[in-house]
Amino acid sequence: MNTSSPTRFTRRRVLATAASLPLAATLLAPRGTWGQTNACPALLNHRFNRLQDDAPQSLCQYAGRVLLVVNTASRCGYTPQYEGLEKLHARFASRGLVVLGFPANNFGAQEPGSNEQIAAFCFNTFGVRFPMFAKSDVIGPQANPLHRELARLTGQAPRWNFHKYLIDRRASTVLSFASDVAPESPTLTAAVERALAG
């Protein structure tokens, strides 16, 4: 893929897809926190268990932030990107960036461990502190609902570990970056800067 021309979709497409989201996503909206279901962008209206303790987490808590969604693996040639992702998260967190990690065993069986093992590896090896979620599929019929939406909206499903989706503050624009685009690359850093400024 041409990493200098990341895939985009417009707010119109997001609004058009809102009606097609599963009813379950609407029912799971954290009403107590947000008051009304539509306060959470449709793209973020999902819950996932936290990697460390399986506690359910709503992505609605990240509404208004710039999100970098990454499917991760512990035994991949790209695994050292964890360090760059953590640095990127720390560098821009005060301005509103959140990196979200989704461990997956879809590519080369390179994430075989349990959630507990993955959490320990990420923290002990790379000092990962950005939010991570329980292992799930990111491609195929069992893909988690966020990755299904991201793939459908951008036309690009992950082809390997450490594929990245950058979501703007309104969850209305998504850029897709291949695995070989490093977290510290000028291409990704510039895109993050633009999203934060927007």
Collapsed DSSP state (helix, strand, coil) of residue 68? strand
Catalytic one among 40, 60, 76, 122? 76
Kind and range of the H or E run holding 100: strand 97-103
What is the C-alpha to C-alpha distance for residues 149 and 167, in angstroms, rounded to an integer?
12
H or E element, residue 32: helix 31-34
Question: How deeply is 118 buried, as exposed, middle or buried, from its count of CB atoms within 10 A (0-12, 13-18, 19+)?
Answer: buried
- Give residue 35's region: left, alpha or beta (phi > 0; psi -120 to 50): left
CA angle, 92 then 41 then 136, to 5°: 75
Please say if 122 is a catalytic residue.
no
Write out the catalytic residue numbers.
76
